[in-house]
Amino acid sequence: DETFSAAAVDLGASSGRVVLGRIGPERLEADVVHRFANKPYRDDERLCWNLGELFDGIVNGLARARAADQGLESVAVDSWAVDYGLLDADGSLLGAPVHYRDSRTDGIMDTIRQRLGDEHLYAITGLQFLPFNTLYQLLAEGPERLERAATILLMPDLLTHALTGAVGAERTNASTTQLYDVSRGEWAAELATDLGIPRRILPDIHDPGDPRGRLLPELRERVGDDGRIMVRAAGSHDTASAVAAVPALGERFAYISCGTWSLVGVELDAPVLSLESAAANFTNEVGVDGTIRYLRNVIGLWPLQECVREWAVDGGSASAEFAELLEAANREPALRSVFDPDSAELLSPGDMPERIRKLCADAGLPVPETRAAVVRCILDSLAIGHARAVRDASRLSGRAVDVVHLVGGGSQNRLLAQLTAEATGLPVLAGPTEATALGNLLVQARAAGVLGSQAEARALVAATQRIERFEPAGGLDWSPWIAA
């Protein structure tokens, strides 16, 4: 039997899942065997990730995967980017990992940009300016803690370390820190040292697919493993994994990896480091196979998720209540009021419907009063953000785009897919929903020699997964909104 069994551990901002995959040259099946909540908590005023709960969720999930398939031979972890834990010289964690939406970084990015200049920072790292980049978070730690730290491990590396004892930095995620030299393919050591970040804390970099080690003996028992399972690196940045599973057949495509964030861009062979690109806040993150994920963070489903939380509506994909809310939003008039999806006021949690109403009121637009109107306002605004980013990615990189691939949880939102087609004026291919987990699995399968090229992996996704096509119907002119 040439079927390869692997588990993808995929951690998202609100939940984690363990997905059991079975992969062969013409087979790609993935089943969620365990899903667990990811609930940040406040500690000393800081919004923190609950590492212990995440780890338990992972180990329990691996035990289920192993019980479902005795042939399970490979595991890899991916998660959101930029966040990390610091280990001291004894290997103990210096406090819980802090959530990137915490306010500890307030003001730091502006200070550093003024001191070093965007041109300098962008020429080295090619990274978009987001207030929560690892660089600014490390500076928020203060010199004393940095002195005590022996190593920094980004979230997937931290969890891989807890599974195996291995220390290292996976490349796709390292590229999101703003401490990575995107042209040289190594840590931006000089930049780090200039800013007072000790070079020694940046661990050796390895690539997606690389073996990281076997499960620690005490975990083998909990998982039911006999030492057979190899823990590998995925494209450990979730967006890198999602893009790896985009079912594109040529190169003239844009992608939108849509969940809590929408990551919108194109795939390139080399970074775009122009000042114009920096000004448009496009990022050059590293993808699987050393590709460049030339993209922009768009606010994504975050405002909708926050509204749904506030209204105590079940936002799950199987929820009838949520489906009704989307249908009501579909009946609302289009483009009645929109907000700028880049509004910095929307980044932090809490009070979302009111903040959206205020943005509309401040812009002199009709204030969305009902829930349906708020949802419609959010989705119209997000579609505009999508269209603007697709257009800019193509213009700034010179890559022509004929089709938009919408992947991730947001691809299940048919209204959003249709609005994105309208706003971009391009066909939208929606799916797969579990792109991140599939991309994680495909990299493992390639590393194990079960699949060949990345093109082969993508063709397998296209042939096996459910993908729905949305055509722009026209009728409404979105261009003034996109331009504004």
402 counts as catalytic: no
In this structure, are residues 126 and 270 in contact, taking their beta carbons and an 8 Å threshold?
A: no
By beta-carbon proximity to ligand LFR, the closer residue of 168 and 409 is: 409
Do 413 and 256 meet the contact criterion of CB atoms below 8 Å apart? no
Spatial contact of 230 and 214, defined as CB atoms under 8 Å apart: yes
For binding to ligand LFR (CB under 6 A), which residues are involved?
A: 80-82, 100, 237-239, 259-261, 263, 297
Nearest-5° angle of CA 45, CA 50, CA 56?
A: 165
- How near is the Cβ of 116 to ligand LFR at its closest, in Å? 21
Smallest separation, CB 79 to ligand LFR (Å): 7
Alpha carbons 396 and 314: distance in angstroms, whole number: 39
Q: Which is nearer to ligand LFR, 138 or 360 (CB)?
A: 138
Phi, psi of 73 (to 5 degrees): -130, 0
328 vs 347 by CB, closer to ligand LFR: 347
**CB nearer to ligand LFR: pick between 291 and 418:** 291
Measured distance CA(109)–CA(111) in Å, rounded: 5
- Closer Cβ to ligand LFR, 146 or 242, answer by number: 242
CA 176, CA 235: separation in Å to the nearest integer?
12
Tokens of 217: 């003996």
The residue (of 82 and 86) whose beta carbon lies closer to ligand LFR is 82
Q: Which tokens in the block code for residue 126?
A: 């090619």
Closest to ligand LFR by CB, 170 vs 238, is 238
Cβ 268 to ligand LFR shortest distance, Å: 17
- Looking at the Cβ atoms of 5 and 305, the one nearer to ligand LFR is 305
Residues in the chain: 484
Provide CB contacts within 8 A for 139, sequence distance 6+. 105, 108, 112, 195, 196, 197
User: How near is the Cβ of 242 to ligand LFR at its closest, in Å?
Assistant: 8
Q: How far is the CB of 237 from ligand LFR (least distance, A)?
A: 6
- In the complex, least distance from residue 439 CB atom to ligand LFR, rounded to whole angstroms: 13
Alpha-carbon gap, residue 244 to 442, rounded angstroms: 8
CB of 82 to ligand LFR, least distance (A): 4
Task: Kindly tell me which of 95 and 131 has the beta carbon lying closer to ligand LFR.
Answer: 131
292 and 285 Cβ atoms separated by less than 8 Å: yes
Q: Catalytic pick from 69, 78, 225, 238?
A: 238
Is 364 within 8 Å of 266 (Cβ atoms)?
A: no
Q: How far is the CB of 285 from ligand LFR (least distance, A)?
A: 8
- Nearest Cα to 112, choosing from 125, 102, 97? 125
Q: How far is the CB of 264 from ligand LFR (least distance, A)?
A: 11
* Active site members: 238
